[in-house]
Amino acid sequence: MEKEEEKEEMELSDSLFEEETKAKSQGKTRKNSKEKKKEEDKEKLKKYITYLILKTVSIVVLVFILCNFVFGIFVCHDNSNFPSVRDGDLCITYKLSNYISGDIVAYEHDDKIYFGKIIGKPGDVIDFNDNGFTLNGNSLMETVYYKTELREDDSHDNYPLTLGENEYYILAEMREEGKDSRNLGTVDGSEMRGKMALLVRRRGFGS
């Protein structure tokens, strides 16, 4: 009788030990599973942050390239080229264009941006005489007539002027008061800041 009781107690003890061991094992398994999930989540977060950083850097580099080598963004601060470009207009230019006569362009002179119309291109002969402005010996033909003549503060000693390689003669639309090649000199291709591609009128919508 006593042996049977001892046997039962031993079996019960073994059973309890097995359950305890199994519970500990399951606890360790759950703990390891949680730790593994945390590590996986950390790794996913690191990858996502890395992706965001790379994407942001790529966008910044792309915008930098576009704004410095493909497009230009400028604001006009006067009415020298009214009505084509007005004071306050936001001007977006395209820098990879081939420039031709009649193009409205932005160019830089003494660290200041000017706007104007290309009148003469490389090889053209510019002159002012009793008949006014001439291009290659002919009077300037424009859709809208502008009085084009030399003013008191313009250079009078450089004409006739033959434009050299990559050299342009640019006039403001408001010929009587605008600054242009008559007083600033010819514009080198390296000073060009692009052909007008898009203009956003920010003032005088009704004028």
- Highest mean pLDDT, choosing among 19-23, 122-126, 143-147: 122-126
Q: Is the pLDDT of residue 149 over 70?
A: yes
| Mean pLDDT calculated for residue range 166-184 | 91
More confident of the two residues 54 and 202: 54
Give the pLDDT confidence score for residue 63 in this predicted structure.
84
DSSP for the chain reads -HHHHHHHHHHHHHHHHHHHHHHHHHHHHHHHHHHHHHHHHHHHHHHHHHHHHHHHHHHHHHHHHIIIIIEEEEE--S-TTTTTS-TT-EEEEETTPPP-TT-EEEEEETTEEEEEEEEE-TT-EEEEETTEEEETTEE---SS-------TTS--SS-SEE--TTEEEEE-SSTTT--SHHHH--EEGGGEEEEEEEEE--S-TT-
| Confidence (pLDDT) at 136 | 94
Selection from 9-18, 100-109, 193-202 with the highest mean pLDDT: 100-109
Q: What is the mean pLDDT of residues 42-50?
A: 90
The mean pLDDT of 134-158, rounded to a whole number, is: 80
- The residue extents of the domains of the chain are 1-70, 76-200
Residue 205: pLDDT band (50, 70, 90) is very low
> 76-200: CATH homologous superfamily?
Umud Fragment, subunit A (2.10.109.10)
Q: Is the pLDDT of residue 19 over 50?
A: yes
The answer to whether residue 65 scores a pLDDT higher than 90 is no
